[in-house]
Structure 1
């Protein structure tokens, strides 16, 4: 067979195989998208009721609320207000970054300033009613989507919070990497990291890239007697876009990963963009070198301390993973939703607006609850059992040497 004919035959077979795979994926996704997924081992979760006594402290974890409605009808803000009323002073609200879409808080003369203020004011007005702690983190959008002038945007937003909600904690201050601590209640400690600092381009506060992880290890070792929540904007495990998971539609219409309505059909060629983001990544993806290095170093520390709870936003859905004795949350469905793939290492995922609540009881008992607007009952809850950390996978010697050289 001539070389040209062989090449055409190979391309045709590849095209047919890709088409069949995309059709199969599309059919699967239609069956489970926007439905809560719970791993089979936890399908009996409704049979496990919450303790009868009230929790000692509660923590709401709400990420990516930057596109909330400004007319007083936003469902997430209404659900958060209900949670705040139920909780009272014995609680903490943690906003996990991406507080203002699309690019944080512009300068006063910028044409998008009024819209940005309106969205942020709607969030701050809800938080102002709360009697407990309020903590705000920053995300990549708050840093002007990671552009070189992002630090300026970040400091402007922090100053706005100090002026309009002075009782809140904007952490870490001035865009520093952290870690910083906040004692939420007796025996319950919050540690905050500014994960965007590691992936940010352009000016940022000067710091050693490795020192924050050494400080984090020291903090966790010194606080083994406490229940610890570590909060950062970027997830460490994810079954969604930033973790390299894409829908069949995004292979055919790849530009919808940038804008939901960019329906420009690019079949076959369009699969190159998801493949690129899965293997190499945009700056906000786990596969990107800066994000990958930050994630690897952070997991190396967290895996040493069982029962740590790490909470993040960034991906616009709800996800829970238990890995190597720790608990990893993605709670980025504060104003938008996006595809999340079921299964894998996830215990729970749902493509729905909402947020997680951590309820801390006496006797070291901690419960994770999923709170979603419009739901007549919880779609998932789980007692976070104290766990013995699993042995991390053995890393081959050549890879170990590469990791040592990259530190």
Structure 2
């Protein structure tokens, strides 16, 4: 057999094998896409509920990526948030986890996209302004003009807009600083905010030592081990979705749909190179990217020391919950968009659906995670819960501190 014939046979086998794999993947995805996945270990979650006669001490809604909400009063997430506000009362906190304005944050007043950006942001701020409790906003990569060199200007413009239109809200950390910044939400419940975009941002940003925020975070966690702590940042540290390197079979055939959902340009075989690149090397917003990877590694070195910690993020447009090293890691980024999320792996729960998580803190020490999603019939009432879980309490054993050299 000649080399050319052998090459042709091998190429044909590669094509057939790739097609078979993609068909198998597509069939698998059809079985679970847009359906809630719950890990086998907690399939009995429906049997467990918090005490209905004991109201929470404090409730925290963590909602990410609401930057494309409808502006005509019909947005299902804003309606769901309104229901949560009414149910919760003043003893609660709403944390907006960044990507507050799509596609590129708040442009300059003379920019042609300014009017549309203001309209979307005003709808979100109006919904938040009705709530008498605590309101906290973070920034995401889209708020920094998708991480472009002039992103800091966009961030400062958005922060100033919030100070003007919703002055009682906390926009944290201020001025684009990396943080950490702490905020006491209730007795025994502490919020710590990180500006994770600072570590992956290109161009201008507030000057700071890249390692020092993690030292400060560790000090805060050590000083507040007696409290229940929520650490909030835009970027997830665990994810079964796009930014964690997970792609659909369709994205292997039509890779440009990862950038634009309407870009159906078929590139079989060659198209798999883009998902492979984003999984192994990564765009700036992906976990695989060197800057993101370094930030994630340093952050996890701290968080893994403190069992019971809750880390809440957005960025990926779905709902995910992971329990790792005794900590609780949330991705709550489906505030206005949804995108593929892969089931299984180390995830306890995932769902490709609009919604957000609520953390209910009780005075007797229990903390419950609830999944809130809008009803399909546009009712003001939420859909039945697809997942809830009593989170493990704070561990009593003192952690072994990581030495300063570990943050390199």
- Please, what TM-score do these two structures have when normalized by structure 2? 0.95
Does 2:323 align with 1:322?
A: yes
Whole-angstrom distance in 1 between the partners of 2:88 and 2:223? 29
Whole-angstrom distance in 2 between the partners of 1:214 and 1:112? 40
Q: Report the alpha carbon displacement of residue 4 of structure 1 after superposing the two structures with TM.
A: 2.3
**Map of 1:224-263 to 2, 5 A cutoff?**
224-263=225-264
Q: 1:381 aligns to what? A: 388
Whole-angstrom distance in 2 between the partners of 1:157 and 1:134? 15
Deviations 1:294-353 (A, max 9, x none): 000000000011100000000000000000010000000000000000000000000000
- Alignment coverage as a number of residue pairs: 394
SS of the equivalent of 1:364 reads coil
Does 2:52 align with 1:45?
A: no
2:228/2:394 contact within 8 Å kept: no
Q: 2:187 aligns to what? A: 186
Give the ranges of 4+ consecutive aligned residues of structure 1 lying more than 4 Å apart after TM superposition.
Answer: none
Q: Report the alpha carbon displacement of residue 387 of structure 1 after superposing the two structures with TM.
A: 6.8
Q: 2:378 aligns to what? A: none
Q: Report the alpha carbon displacement of residue 376 of structure 1 after superposing the two structures with TM.
A: 3.3
**Map of 1:286-297 to 2, 5 A cutoff?**
286-297=287-298
Whole-angstrom distance in 2 between the partners of 1:260 and 1:326? 34
Q: Report the alpha carbon displacement of residue 286 of structure 1 after superposing the two structures with TM.
A: 0.2
Q: 1:30 aligns to what? A: 30
- Please, what TM-score do these two structures have when normalized by structure 1? 0.95
Does 2:10 align with 1:6?
A: no
Deviations 1:72-114 (A, max 9, x none): 1100000001101111110000000000000000000000000
Q: 1:165 aligns to what? A: 166
Whole-angstrom distance in 2 between the partners of 1:363 and 1:305? 20
Q: Report the alpha carbon displacement of residue 203 of structure 1 after superposing the two structures with TM.
A: 0.3
2:90/2:132 contact within 8 Å kept: yes
Q: 1:109 aligns to what? A: 110
SS of the equivalent of 1:148 reads coil
Q: Which runs of 5+ in 1 are unaligned?
A: 390-403
2:63/2:335 contact within 8 Å kept: yes
Deviates more, 1:371-380 or 1:181-190: 371-380
**Map of 1:7-406 to 2, 5 A cutoff?**
7-52=7-52, 53-374=54-375, 375-386=382-393
Q: 2:399 aligns to what? A: none
Q: CA RMSD in A?
A: 1.4
2:309/2:394 contact within 8 Å kept: no
SS of the equivalent of 1:14 reads helix
Q: 2:402 aligns to what? A: none
SS of the equivalent of 1:155 reads helix
2:372/2:383 contact within 8 Å kept: no
Q: Report the alpha carbon displacement of residue 362 of structure 1 after superposing the two structures with TM.
A: 1.5
Q: Which runs of 5+ in 2 are unaligned?
A: 376-381, 397-404
Q: Report the alpha carbon displacement of residue 388 of structure 1 after superposing the two structures with TM.
A: 5.9
SS of the equivalent of 1:363 reads coil
Q: Report the alpha carbon displacement of residue 354 of structure 1 after superposing the two structures with TM.
A: 0.2
Q: Report the alpha carbon displacement of residue 50 of structure 1 after superposing the two structures with TM.
A: 1.7
Whole-angstrom distance in 2 between the partners of 1:219 and 1:406? 16
Q: Report the alpha carbon displacement of residue 406 of structure 1 after superposing the two structures with TM.
A: 8.7
